[in-house]
Structure 1
Amino acid sequence: MIIRTLEEAEQSDRRVAAENWESIRLLLSQDGVGFSFHITTMFPNTETRIWYKNHFEAVFCIEGEGEVETLADSKIHPIRPGTIYILDKHDRHILRAKTKMRNACVFAPALHGKETHDVDGSYPALARD
């Protein structure tokens, strides 16, 4: 059994920050369960272009408000607490945070821990553990 607290993870190398967001990575590939689990905070009034071409992601909003725009069809979907969106087709999208947004995120395959978005908005495909 794996037991961790968000507070402990925030004070460790499981905290990864970028210009628009901060991610506390509670479960990673080295934990051996096939997916990773993160609490990610999007900073207010930011916009992040994302394309997880190497991963699937599910995002559940815990706090705050924003929107996600799917680039293939230019549809905009409001995000608020209780909303989940799933990137089941490696969707290119823009995530806009109107306020501070906290999201619970699941990635498959699991992330290794230090990933940040590259030029096209993706995380690299890494060799599996």
Structure 2
Amino acid sequence: MPHPRMFDDDDPVLGRLREITLALPDAAEKVSHGIPAFYTTKVFAYYGGSVKVGDGYERHRASVLVLADPVEAPALLGSPDAYFPMYLGVSGWVGLDIGDGTDWAEVAELVETSYRLTAGVRRVKRLDARP
């Protein structure tokens, strides 16, 4: 049984995240567990995440999950907009809530770092060769 769809294609935040993610070499989008996942051979970003709360969970709909640079992850998690996502947090992923005051340049930087950690040497070289 597939997961229920937990996003709206007309969401402007998702649209902005698509612009950032799909501009990277060979990036594509699929729906995984009901949310958009951006990937090459491995996923490098998700739109939306959850945190464990008691016996249940709390959804963070307008957020991005990225694989963080291990050196930067503790500082990121210290940000008031960041959270430790269920399931993926133990593997180095960090969630970042997106709102009116979001620094989209920071989002793009975090997405690019995650891409670099997952995309492979040839794709990263292609990314670095871009003007």
Tell me the TM-score normalised to structure 2 length. Answer: 0.27
The structure whose residues are more often strand, as a share, is 1
The structure whose residues are more often helix, as a share, is 2
Q: Which structure carries more relative contact order (alpha carbon 8 Å, separation 6+)?
A: 1
